[in-house]
A = this chain, B = another copy of it.
Amino acid sequence: MRIIVAVAGLVSAQKLRLSAALAGHEVGYVDVQAAPDQARAAVTEAEIIFGNVPAGWLAGATRLRWVQLDSAGVDAYLGLNAARPGAPVQLTNLSDFYGRAVAEVALASILAFYRQLPRLMAGQREGRWVKTEVEPGVGQLHGAPVLVLGTGAIGRRLMTLLRAFECEVRGFARRSADAQLHTLAELDAALPSAAVVINTLPHTPETQGLLGRERLARFAPSALLVNVGRGSAVDEAALVEALDAGRLGGAVLDVTQVEPLPAASPLWQHPRVILTQHTGGRFPRESEAKIDVFLGNFARFTRGEPLSGAVDPSRGY
């Protein structure tokens, strides 16, 4: 089979490992950023693609049977099969891949917010002992009521960690046994009593604008909003207004509507906003772990078995 590998940043040892495991197949490595024309031509011939290429290129890949994304997000590929004749392309993502890393960045930032780390780090940089000015603002996560929107790998991992802090954790998901809240009405009723609200939901037509002006108005004035899902879920103008009006305690944003965050955004300099610049998914030996996932799925593919992390492109999950 003709397999195109478009994962960015693979080193030689990783390519050697892939090529050895895929011996007998035609394997090509492309660099979407550095050599897009060559990459696009290779994609046109591919039966299998490992990695994220521009979605628009896929319409021309008439022999394509399977795309293994190397992301959890599938936003760009939602229409993959809509305009294709013939058998649909299978789409798989790294849905269970980023749970631990993203849960850690969420918890790092929540604890940083409660323990006033932004002010302590600013004091440190300026060589100032700010202990007494910072202490009155210190909060505590222990025992706090927390809502987790989405009960996928990230949401479930977060719920486990938050329960170690003896938080009162409730999950929101339409169809999940891990969730206690299943409807928007139930979510809206729960919002005013939450100390922390964490969005882990993917971008879908249903999650777009989920945390808009009206829903943000239901948050407690001291509440912390955490978004490690997708930037499209949050109305950023309404968020800044709520922060400035004292109707929201703070925000932790790993994702924003536009990334990189535009220079003009008031989020950059807001004293109660922590921006983690979409680093949430990173973890050590990540490329090796991606190769593990692909090779496991490749074995299933060749045996005609269901693939791990299969996504319906028409729904986005």
> Which A residues between 28 and 42 are near B, CB-CB below 8 angstroms?
none
A31 to B87, CA, bound (A): 81
User: Do B127 and A269 touch (CB < 8 A)?
Assistant: yes
Q: Among B120, B129, B140, B279, which residue has its beta carbon within 8 angstroms of that of A115?
A: B279
Q: A272 within 8 Å of B by Cβ?
A: no
Using CB atoms, name the residue of chain B closest to A118: B121
Residues of B within 8 A of A135 (CB): 279, 282
- CB of A140 within 8 A of CB of B279, answer no
A111-B122 in contact (CB<8A): no
A303 sits at the interface (CB 8 A) = no
8 Å CB interface, A256-302 against B? 260-261, 263, 268-269, 273-279, 282-284
- B108, B125, B138, B277: the one contacting A112 at CB < 8 Å is B108
In the complex, the answer to whether A269 meets B125 with C-beta atoms within 8 Å is yes
Answer whether residue A183 sits at the interface, using C-beta atoms and an 8 A cutoff. Answer: no
A190 interfacial contact with B, CB 8 Å: no
Contact with B along A193-221 (1 / 0, CB 8 A): 00000000000000000000000000000
Interchain CB contact (< 8 A) of A282 among B105, B138, B141, B269: B138
A134 nearest in chain B by CB position = B279
Question: Which bracket fits the contact residues of A?
Answer: 35 or more
**Looking at the complex, which one of B134, B140, B161, B269 makes contact with A104 (CB distance below 8 Å)?**
B140
Check B121–A121 contact: CB distance below 8 A.
Answer: yes
Contact B125 A122 (CB under 8 A): yes
Per-position binary interface string of chain A over residues 125-141, scored 1 when its CB falls under 8 Å from any chain B CB and 0 otherwise: 10101110011001111
Does A142 lie at the interface of the complex (its beta carbon under 8 Å from any beta carbon of B)?
Answer: yes
Q: How far is the CB of A237 from chain B (nearest CB, A)?
A: 19
Per-position binary interface string of chain A over residues 91-119, scored 1 when its CB falls under 8 Å from any chain B CB and 0 otherwise: 00000000011001101110110111110
| Given A105-B115, A120-B276, A127-B269, 16 further pairs, Cβ under 8 A | A101-B138, A104-B114, A104-B141, A104-B142, A108-B112, A108-B115, A115-B279, A116-B279, A117-B274, A117-B276, A120-B274, A120-B279, A129-B261, A139-B283, A139-B284, A161-B165
